[in-house]
A and B are shown apart, each in its own frame.
Chain A
Amino acid sequence: MPDLSTLLAQVFTGLVLGMIYVLLAIGLSLIFGLMTVVNFAHGALFMLGAYFGVFLLAYTKSFWIALLVAPLMVGVLGLLMERFLIRRLYGRSPDDPLLLTFGLSLILVEGVKVIWGKIGLTLDPPRALAGAVNLGFMAFPAYRLFLIVVIVAVLIGLYFFLGRTNIGLIIRAGSRDPLMVRALGIDLSRVWLLVFGIGSALAGLAGILAGPMRGAYAEMGVTMVIESFVVIVVGGMGSLLGAVVAGLLIGQVVGITTLFLPKAADIMVFVVMAVVLLVRPSGLFGEAGLLE
């Protein structure tokens, strides 16, 4: 049995890991929740966020500028994808956008390899956040502490945007009853364009933030898409609150299982998913979610 400080260190590490899972999943959750589009290009957009970040960093020498601009660039790409491709598939089987975005992700991943080569790129954290901070019970990466701040800011921002602004009201109304919203004279296609753009930008943000922890390489989205899907399926497809709770839950499951039985950490995640789906087939917050 590990001593108390190791256990505390493990729980804390799992907590931060859970926040990172939330960050990875949030863009996917947003797009599904409001548009019922399963965006399989989420991982590719995540990867592009990291790649754009590397180049902005090389060009501007500032991590902070890269952190702001890379997600915007990915967001613009998302806008273009929605406007010219995905929009044509609304009202058809939900499989169609899924297949389209899956195909797009293959094109983006191979395109990145053609342009930037098969060897990945270096993305280091900014100097000020490179080392570890002594928390008393453990040394913990300063960069991961910084991530908590960013993630909490993003969640608060989304909460106010969707819950407290007029446009947020329209977005939520549009996701519940598009026909009625249209009857009121609102152009929903512009709303969906915006939502897809924001969801893509969040994938890009996750990408540039993950780069300093995981590296930047063409296939980096593959693992991430799996992590994201687990989080939003457990949390309830489309529920932002669900994604947060599920992310934190899975962070703890991985953390604690790794401490006692590392071999089983991966399987335990899927065990949790299976149990949740048995008890609540639509996920933890699938029905009562903010954005259903």
Chain B
Amino acid sequence: MDRRSFLATTAAGAAALSFPAILRAQSKEPLRIGCPLPLTGPFAALAADMQRGAQLAEAELNAKSGVMGRKVEVLFRDDQLKPAVGAQRTKELIENDKCAFIVGGLAAHVQMAINEQTKKSKVLYISTSQSDEISAKPDTSPITFHEALNPTITCRVMGKWAAENLGKKWWIVYADYAWGKQCNAVLQEALKKAGGTLLGATPYPLGSAEFSAHLPKIQAAKPDVFMNVAPGADNIALHKQVISFGMKKDMKIAQPLLWISYLKEGGPELYQDVHGAVNWYWELQDSIPTAKKFVDASMKKFNLPPGDYGAYSYSGVLEVARGTELAKSTEADAVADALRKNPVYDHFKGKQWWRACDNKSFQDLWIVKGRDKAKGDWGLMEIVSKVGANEEYDRTCAEKGLA
């Protein structure tokens, strides 16, 4: 080794060892946020919506010089709707791609697997789909946040509203898995509280396309309200078959959540006058300025209004950015503390806040119903009423084992 290269090497080594230099170098690194989503498989349409939401947040942050001067990069990975794959992709996002945060996950069981990994790696996670467990013992943690609604909130709100406004004698058909069973239990409780009567509740195996065998006895029981607690393609098949048995003219039809992509898929006739709750619908832009900004950005970039799940991931990415700015750090505990100390935010639909004891986001909901004639391509629903954010709709932290 000659003198020149010796000097060069030692100089480089010295620079590498000097701590402030590392900080400077790192600060130029982009801030990476990992986003595992089921981009292929049955939830692909919802996942694509979530991907667009996160991309909108990324573009918005970078348009105003990023976060603490660092460019924001959201990295998407396909978790294939499988817990093991979700955990593996999350581990790679953290260890190989150096993601400082994880935002995403769709379906409760995949969220749990992602959350196990982020807890282990001490990385803050904002979960963006429905789950009761993610904000309760033993799954939750001080660095696990939950942006989405959960079955308890959704079904308490929808159950109460439907019992007060649609009728008091119900029949529930629900998918026999976690979300369906939880929702069925909460709906029954809400109905009872409102003084209603349950005529029957029938489970069916998730992923069924045939419901005809369920319908004769419901037809004979003549409920006021038929509650469809079926997700995915099942939801459409059940509505189609209920209508074909001539039941829609005899009873009101409701479901806990109205997903806009299902309305698109099933067609307006199928969902006409079907009532459900939503966390977000793009026509809120008519009354809420931040909603207008969000919809405009989405129309400009994708020529599509953002859907309800896209809204969760949009908000989730903006929240880790806000937490980082507040904490002046990406370290999980510091960001989590900063968010809990400054819990109120408003990114796209009015005031939301984090409850300190369980890191759960509280937010407004809306009751909507399907329109008979769509307004344009995506004007498929009509807003019926607003249900203001209220911590009473969720279980208390004591009930979640967090008191």
Contact = CB atoms under 8 A, between A and B. Distances in A.
- Label chain B's interface by main secondary structure: helix
A141 B209 contact: no
A20 B220 CA distance: 23
9 smallest beta-carbon distances between A and B, as pairs: A132-B246, A122-B267, A141-B244, A9-B216, A258-B213, A118-B45, A215-B236, A139-B246, A266-B205
Contact of B210 (A17, A121, A124, A217): A17
Interface stretch (A30-38, A149-157, A162-170, A219-227): A219-227
Contact of A219 (B233, B264, B266): B233
A219 B42 contact: yes
A189 interface: no
A27 interface: no
Contacts of B245: 132, 139-141
B226 to A, nearest CB: 14
B246 A131 contact: yes
B212 A13 contact: yes
Which range contains the number of A residues in contact with the other chain? 35 or more
B207 interface: yes
A220 B233 contact: yes
6 contacts: A113-B44, A119-B265, A131-B246, A141-B246, A210-B209, A265-B204
B3 interface: no
Nearest to A216: B265
Interface string A1-19: 0100110011001101100
Given A214-B209, A259-B216, 12 more contacts: A2-B217, A6-B220, A10-B213, A13-B212, A118-B44, A122-B270, A132-B244, A132-B245, A141-B245, A213-B209, A259-B217, A262-B202
Contacts of A143: 244
Contacts of B212: 13, 16-17, 144
Interface of B: 40, 42, 44-45, 48, 176, 202-205, 207-210, 212-217, 219-220, 233, 236-237, 240-241, 244-247, 261, 264-267, 269-270
- Label chain A's interface by main secondary structure: helix
B31 to A, nearest CB: 30
Contacts of A217: 233, 236, 265
Given A124-B267, A130-B244, A213-B244, A13 B216 contact: yes
A20 B265 CA distance: 23
A122 B266 contact: yes
B202 A223 contact: no
A125 B233 CA distance: 17
B219 A224 contact: no
Contacts of A214: 209-210, 233, 236-237, 240
Interface string A257-273: 01100110110000000
B258 to A, nearest CB: 15
A117 B216 CA distance: 35
